[in-house]
Amino acid sequence: MGGNTISWPVSRRDLKLWFQETYPVILVVYDGQKDRAYWIHIQAYISDRRTPELFAGGDTISFHIPIRNRINPRAIRAIARCKNDIHKQIRGKGPEHV
């Protein structure tokens, strides 16, 4: 794990399931040597990419998790806000975009 991102393999089978989830799917990768965890919001990550590319090819795809995305209290609040925004949208009380 070096540089600005952590490359992590994700099964395309799992990705297809996560793509269909309404609520946020958060991938957390733990670096035991540094005792740090990093996260990425799966739906936001894949929404920035062309869908056919995500599901074509081999059994896995590499996700690149920015090392600035450390799990800490601020990250937990951001994840909770994301979930709450989606919940409000589902109930018809939130922003139109997610």
pLDDT in tens, the chain (98 residues): 458 999 999 998 898 888 889 899 999 999 999 999 999 999 888 887 766 667 777 899 889 999 999 999 999 999 999 999 988 988 886 555 44
Nearest Cα to Cα of residue 45 among 19, 11, 84: 19
Report yes or no: 40 and 26 within 8 Å, Cβ to Cβ. yes
Q: What pLDDT shows up at residue 95?
A: 57
- Which residue type does 88 have? K
Q: How far is CA 71 from CA 19, 35, 53, in A?
A: 22, 11, 28
Q: What pLDDT shows up at residue 27?
A: 96
Q: What pLDDT shows up at residue 51?
A: 65
User: Cβ–Cβ contacts within 10 Å for residue 26, how many?
Assistant: 19
Report residue 17 as tokens. Answer: 């399931």
